[in-house]
Amino acid sequence: MGFARGGGHLEFFESLEDCAKREVLEETGLSIFDVRLATVTNDIFKKENKHYITIYVKTDNFKGDVKVMEPDKFKKWQWFDWNELPKPLFLPLENLKETDFDPLIDR
């Protein structure tokens, strides 16, 4: 199992599950199913003067082939082992790695 990071903003009245499905489809071309809450991180971007609560969801059920759907934002998608993520990490992932979160364990 790999770890994928995509993301975006929750639309008005949109459920977390529907947001995850929409964002993953928009960014990767994958359709995901059986989405469940994984964890959250409290992310303060001091330089940008922004404060986000990042909500992580997970699924083991998806269909399709990964594609670069937003070439202006991403050059390629690549799978990494959870313990071998490339550096530097996006702040929410840094914060997530500092917790006891394990993507292979359901809580």
Domain membership flag for residue 56: yes
Its pTM stands at 0.84
Predicted confidence (pLDDT) per residue in 24-50, tens digit: 999 999 999 999 999 999 999 999 999
Domain membership flag for residue 4: no
Domain membership flag for residue 106: no
Q: What is the CATH number of the domain that holds 93?
A: 3.90.79.10
Joined tokens for residue 37: 């809450």
- Residue range of the domain that includes 47: 16-97
| Tally of domains in the chain | 1
Say which DSSP state 100 is in: T
Domain membership flag for residue 65: yes
What is the average pLDDT across 95-102? 93
Cα distances (Å, whole numbers) of residue 26 to 38, 55, 62: 21, 18, 14
3-state secondary structure of 23: helix
